[in-house]
Structure 1
Amino acid sequence: MKVHFREQYGTRGQEFLYVTPIDQDTIVRVTINGKKPAISKGFFLLNLLQKTLLPQGYPDSVSDDYLDYQKYDTLQALASTITGCLATHSVLQGLGVGDESSTALSATITWILKDGAGHLGRILFAYWKGSELDIDSKKWRLRADVLNDLAMSIELFLLPYYPMYSTYILCVTTMMKAVVGVAGGATRSALTLHHAIRNNMADVSAKDSAQETCVNLIGSFIGLFLLTSITNPAWVATMFFIFTFIHIYANVKAVKSVCLKTFNEARYLIALEEFFRNNSVLPPKVVNHLERVTVGQTVSLTAKVKIGCSVKDLTEQIRNKYEIEDLVACFETRDKFLIAETKNYVGVYLHYDIKPHEILRAYFFVASYLQDRTQIKNNYWEVQAKWSEFLNLAQLAGYNVHSHLLHVDEFRCDWRFI
């Protein structure tokens, strides 16, 4: 028997051989043990489900944390759909469904005002926090789902008892859900970008949408069953709280399972603290586990830091030209950032040509400066040597040091002619 080809679909697919048996001239396809492949109905259905719900090339086409994230994301979507069904019943009551005294016009007006409040909420939230959604995608993903649960709780427990204020209540909850839509959609895109390691973001996003649609369909039937079989308000409230708890728990587990390898401020400070203490860099999985996904940060600096700020504040506090010249002299002529502490914060002033990895370097110098405010002026090259060591260790640990998720304002300046 002569083997012509050996074939496998992905790294987990079954292997096949294309061979010519000894007494034949025709090439046949056999399994690795020499038997002809037999396709069962179960295998066909499993293969169809995988192609429908998982990105092409799974698991090689997605990040290592994809499966853990999707398990909890599926659970939270199911719980959210069920609680949404329970809350929808109260919303329809608030709009006057089943009330003989209510008119179609009043329900229409309420619906239009509710939608208008939602549109306004989207615009205001995008203006207020739009730039922070990439930086703290885990936190905002969790906050969005908690806010969604809060909005549904208001609809379920307030609308039936205060029908005269239904328009106001629905406007408030719709505005809250609008914030959820903006924050949830934006952070989902950020996480999808992380999972899509083959530049296959559209495929990963499409399959994620298919998974969510499938789960929502199942959750809708469960919610419908609960609404028709449970008439006691106390039991409805109990089921709502149970599924809300499951929803929040699954969301926490989902965002905690994500292992981002790009530094935001929280992850960068955790890594820097370990480096300054033990001269080592924690792996991304450990840093992501230590990162807080609720409120606050695991590690914080002793002063507020602003990156990419205007020199207007600096020149208003340091008006003497010799002091400015001394400040510039603390840095190398090739450096594309300056660091100066003013009354309210430590400012990082960026050159027009600065690159993302140099912003990481600037933040490293700020952290060193806040440990010892004489380091940059007196021990510049020691700080530079430590940065080079940290950069090398971070790359070996698997971090992406060519981009960052630090909050950087847009002011740029030049001081080379000083």
Structure 2
Amino acid sequence: MKVHFREQYGSKGEEFLYVTPVDAENFPENHQIVRVTINGKKPAISSKGFFLIRILQKALLPHGYPDSVSEDYFDYQKWDTLQAFASTITGCLATHSVLKGLGVGDETSTALSATITWILKDGAGHLGRILFAYWKGNDLDRDSKKWRLRADVLNDVAMTIELFLLPYYSKHSVYILCLTTMMRSLVGVAGGATRSAMTLHHAIRNNMADVAAKDSAQETCVNLIGSFVGLFLLTGISSPLWLAAIFFLMTCIHIYANTRAVKSVCLKTFNEARYLIALEEYFRNGSVLPPKVVNQLERVTIGQTVSLAVQVKLGCSVKDFTEQIRNRYEIEDLIACFETRDKFLIAETKGYVGVYLHYDIKPHEILRAYFFVASYLQDRSQIRDNYWEVQAKWSEFLNLAQLAGYNVHSHLLNVDEYRCDWRFI
């Protein structure tokens, strides 16, 4: 037979050949182009089950999956689906307690009192969103994994309060619901923002909208199934003790699945935690750990795997510097430690190491500045006496990091907005 085309749908799809058969007995349509599998057999007619699977794939998975998403997409979505299922069931149990707290089923309760309670709790939620966005909005990009997990744990705490306190303190339902709704509002801001960060990471073909839409479809599907399971539990189980046990089990599953979900994400942009892990390995062994290993070592709860002995502030105001060093000759001596092309200065003052950034500094130069700070804290004479040695190490680290697959053209370090110039001194 003569092969005209070879075709495959994505990198995981089955391969087909478009051929002109030469055996008239096996292929009566001798002069027509025929589509066959790679082993020469005619593809089987799609069954209804297979057709349904293809429909579900198109509805729930991004177009071009798995080539259109990052390698960690499946592992993340697997655990994210489990946590969404567990969260929906605990949410059903908590909603039941909320409605009882609002007076549903109580003849002495009025629609007006329930409405006032509902409005007050929603108002507390709106206030909580504004305050949290002001307080921690800038941290959500840098530590998206931590805040993703914290948001879900806080959501579990809010539901626990509603389930176990609200039925017994119905007289104080307004205060309890305002508290839990404010907690949920933090969850909404942190969870929504970090979900966007995860979606941006998973969308490798500029298909963020498609990935976000399919993620929403997956969650809606899981929530639908979980809602029916929760309804079955509420109607089929009357024992408060059993319902409490189920709630506790689902909460444990929810936290565990969330932890596994964020741990499975392999981010290739340095935040402070991942950068310090990579730098520690480089200073110790002269090698750079791959992103997958660094992400596994990164803590997603509290604290950091590696930390510096002194606080580092990037993008400080020169005011802080000049208040500590007022002598012009000391300032000029400090500037002389750096090359004229450098876009940063490093000065240790009381309590922290300040990094003062030039107007024209670029993201990769901020990574370089942090590298110099880490070298300085190992030996405070390195920059003054061994500047070019530190520069050579930075060039080597940068090359190794690029080969390992890190994105060195951007960063997620905490950088303030002060910029300055010292070239005319």
| Shared fold per TM-score greater than 0.5 | yes
Match of 2:34 among 25, 28, 32: 28
Answer yes or no: is 1:152 the counterpart of 2:159.
yes
Partner of 2:217: 210
Cα deviation 1:142-186 (Å, max 9, x = unaligned): 000000000000000010000010001000000000000000000
For residues 105 and 330 of structure 2, the distance between their equivalents in structure 1, rounded to whole angstroms, comes to: 76
Counterpart amino acid of residue 47 in structure 1: R
In 1: Cα distance, 2:65 partner to 2:200 partner: 15
The total of aligned residue pairs comes to 418
Structure-1 residue corresponding to 2:342: 335
Deviation per CA, 1:227-282: give whole Å up to 9, x if none: 01111111111110000000000001111111111110000000101111111111
Whether 1:2 aligns to 2:16 is no
Name the CA distance, whole Å, in 1 between partners of 2:376 and 2:132. Answer: 35
Distance 1:68 1:144 in 2: 20
CA deviation profile, 1:312-369 (whole Å, cap 9, x unmatched)? 1111111111111111111000000000011121110111110000000000000001
2:133 aligns to what? 126
Aligned pairs for 1:351-370 (under 5 A) are 351-370=358-377
- Give the CA deviation at 1:26: 2.3
2:152 aligned partner, one-letter code:
D
CA–CA separation in structure 2 for the residues paired with 1:129 and 1:67: 29
Taking only the aligned residue pairs, the percentage that are identical comes to 84
Matched residues in 2 for 1:33 and 1:318: separation? 78
Q: Give distance in 1, aligned partners of 2:245 and 2:175.
A: 26
2:18 maps to 1:12:
no
Shift of 1:205: 0.7
Distance 1:262 1:377 in 2: 30
The answer to whether residue 267 in structure 2 is matched with residue 257 in structure 1 is no
Letter in 1 for 2:86: A
**In 2, distance between residues paired with 1:131 and 1:64?**
27
Q: Which residue of 44, 51, 76 corresponds with 1:44?
A: 51
Deviation at 1:73, TM superposition (A): 0.4
Which of 185, 190, 195 is the matching residue for 1:188?
A: 195
RMSD over equivalenced CA pairs, Å: 0.9
TM-score by length of 2: 0.97
Letter in 1 for 2:18: Y
What 5-or-longer segments of structure 2 have no aligned partner? 25-29
CA distance in 1, matches of 2:162, 2:128: 17
| Post-superposition CA distance 1:69-116 (Å, at most 9, x none) | 111000000000000000000000111111111111111110000100
Q: Aligned to 1:134, what secondary structure does the other structure show?
A: helix
Report what 1:165 is aligned to: 172
Runs of 4+ in 1 over 6 A off after TM superposition: none
Taking the aligned partners of 1:51 and 1:291, their CA distance within structure 2 comes to: 34
CA shift for structure 1 position 34: 2.5
Aligned to 1:65: 72
| 1:174 partner SS | helix
In 2, Cα distance between equivalents of 1:331 and 1:35: 70
Structure-1 residue corresponding to 2:298: 291
Partner of 1:376: 383
1:141 maps to: 148
318-327 or 356-365, larger mean C-alpha shift: 318-327
**Structure 1: how far apart are the matches of 2:173 and 2:58?**
45
CA distance in 2, matches of 1:351, 1:344: 23
**Which residue identity does 1:128 align to in structure 2?**
W
Distance 2:47 2:35 in 1: 17
Structure 1, unaligned stretches of length 5 or more? none
Q: Distance in 2 between matches of 1:36 and 1:393?
A: 49
Whole-Å separation in 2 of the counterparts to 1:105 and 1:88? 20
TM-score (structure 1 length as normaliser): 0.99
1:107 aligns with 2:114: yes
Q: Give 1:44's aligned amino acid.
A: F
Measured against aligned partners, the alpha-carbon deviations of 1:180-230 in whole angstroms (never above 9, x if no partner) come to 000000001101111111111111111111100000000000100110111
